Amino acid sequence: MSVLRRRVRAALLGALVLPATLVTTAPAHANPAPGGDAPLRQRLEQVVARGSVGAYADVRDENGHRTARAGTARLNGTRPVPHDPLFRVGSTTKTFVATVLLQLVGEGRLSLDDPVERWLPGVVPGGDAVTVRRLLDHTSGLYDYSQDKDVPLFGPEFVRNRHRTYPAEELVRLALRNPPYFAPGKGWRYSNTNYFLAGMIIERVTGRPYAEEITRRILRPLGLRRTFLPGTSPAIPGRHAHGYMPLSMEPDAELVDITSFNPSVAGAAGEMISSAGDVQRFFAALLQGRLLRPAQLAEMTRTVDISRETGIPGAGYGLGLEVMPLSCGGKTWAHGGSSPGYQTYVGNSRDARRQVVVSATGMTKNESAEAARELVDEALCGTS
């Protein structure tokens, strides 16, 4: 199965994508160069030319702040992608969820080594062996709900059911009727089920839904006014490009406007809507130690080697944090995401002094995804 097909069908809002975020020494709201950046725009135009409807890129580094846009806001339309659009960030949501859980660990309210059974008794078969840590780094072995036959995430059935509300408990139950991939701690496999359970644990510990805790602990303190956890609301509440998905895997498959859908099917694994600037500000605060205590940030950045599973030498996964090698020898620390109609590529240098975010809509070809990853790599390596 192709990378793009796995992203759209099997992992919904959570396929592993190259992260990229460059934090700059300039203020988070520094104005980009007037008219955008020509070299960056040329790279972004390749993302569109190789198989996307529209794309937007935002780069921040020691040289300042650059943005670019390519393609159109609607399929076959003439209006360009909006400046500084909102978009569905998919599994970038996971880093926010992991951050809240690690804050609770730092407050002594739970431990990474607590079994799931302690907080969600009777929910997970064998829950005594599945720890909070194993949820956050995907070593639990739990089946990914997005692969269950009764969770349509692609094609005509998904389009017909896109406004249905999926309670988290229902999706967890559907996932756990399937056998685990491996015994807890005996392997690595990306599973969105892990983060539904993480969201449920946040609610059990705090007495408040994970979305409220993310808002209270992260969004408000950092002033992330363009980041939303929409719950069951299908709308994107601000300027945005439309998202499209193919109805089949055929090369000439019809693209359907999927901008509006009920994101409860993504939940704590990937429901969030945000902007490039807000994503960058979040990762800057996280990696620079302003959201977690040193001990918890060290836990988050301690990675499991996933080179074999991804086919990428040097790839690793921490607690809600992807670590990928760069062509220049460094690494990028962040979390990208996939959502129906939207692909997000995020990357940061470890000190968050270089950042890049790329959002693409209607991506249908692996060549387009590769162009987006190349843009991220070049931006972080200082060659773009």
pLDDT digits (tens, 9 = 90+) for 233-247: 999 999 999 999 999
Residue 118 pLDDT > 80, yes or no?
Answer: yes
Residue 32 pLDDT > 60, yes or no?
Answer: no
pLDDT tier, 248 (very low <50, low <70, confident <90, very high otherwise):
confident
Average pLDDT rounded to a whole number, residues 39-46: 96
Residue 15 pLDDT > 90, yes or no?
Answer: no
pLDDT, residue 142, reads: 98
* Residue tagged active-site, from 52, 91, 349, 359: 91
The domain total for the chain is 1
pLDDT, tens digit, for every residue of 353-363?
999 999 999 99
Average pLDDT rounded to a whole number, residues 294-311: 97
Q: How many C-beta atoms surround the C-beta of residue 49 within 10 A?
A: 13
> Pairing state of beta strands 342-348 and 337-339?
antiparallel
d(CA 148, CA 298): 34
pLDDT, residue 179, reads: 97
Average pLDDT rounded to a whole number, residues 126-155: 95
The reply to whether 91 belongs to the active site is yes
Mean residue pLDDT across the chain:
91
Nearest Cα to Cα of residue 261 among 161, 157, 146, 193: 161
pLDDT, residue 12, reads: 34
Residue 128 pLDDT > 50, yes or no?
Answer: yes
Average pLDDT rounded to a whole number, residues 298-320: 97
The contacts of residue 363 (CB under 8 Å, 6+ apart) are 4, 51, 52, 343, 369, 372
pLDDT, tens digit, for every residue of 160-190?
999 999 999 999 999 999 999 999 999 999 9
Q: Sort 189 into a burial class: Cβ within 10 Å, 0-12 / 13-18 / 19+.
A: middle
Q: How far is CA 371 from CA 42, 44, 242, 267, 345, in A?
A: 11, 8, 20, 29, 11
pLDDT, residue 153, reads: 86
Q: Rounded to the nearest 5 degrees, what angle is found at the Cα of 339, between the Cα atoms of 1 and 336?
A: 85
Q: Rounded to the nearest 5 degrees, what angle is found at the Cα of 105, between the Cα atoms of 170 and 263?
A: 30
Which of 147-151, 273-277, 369-373 has the least mean pLDDT? Answer: 147-151
Give the CATH number of the domain where residue 178 resides.
Answer: 3.40.710.10
pTM for this model (two decimals): 0.92
Helical residues (DSSP H) of 29-151, grouped into ranges: 38-49, 93-106, 116-119, 132-136
pLDDT, residue 37, reads: 78
pLDDT, tens digit, for every residue of 79-113?
999 999 999 999 999 999 999 999 999 999 999 99
pLDDT tier, 333 (very low <50, low <70, confident <90, very high otherwise):
very high
The H or E element containing residue 361 is strand 355-361
Residue span of the structural domain in which 294 resides: 3-381
pLDDT, residue 36, reads: 54
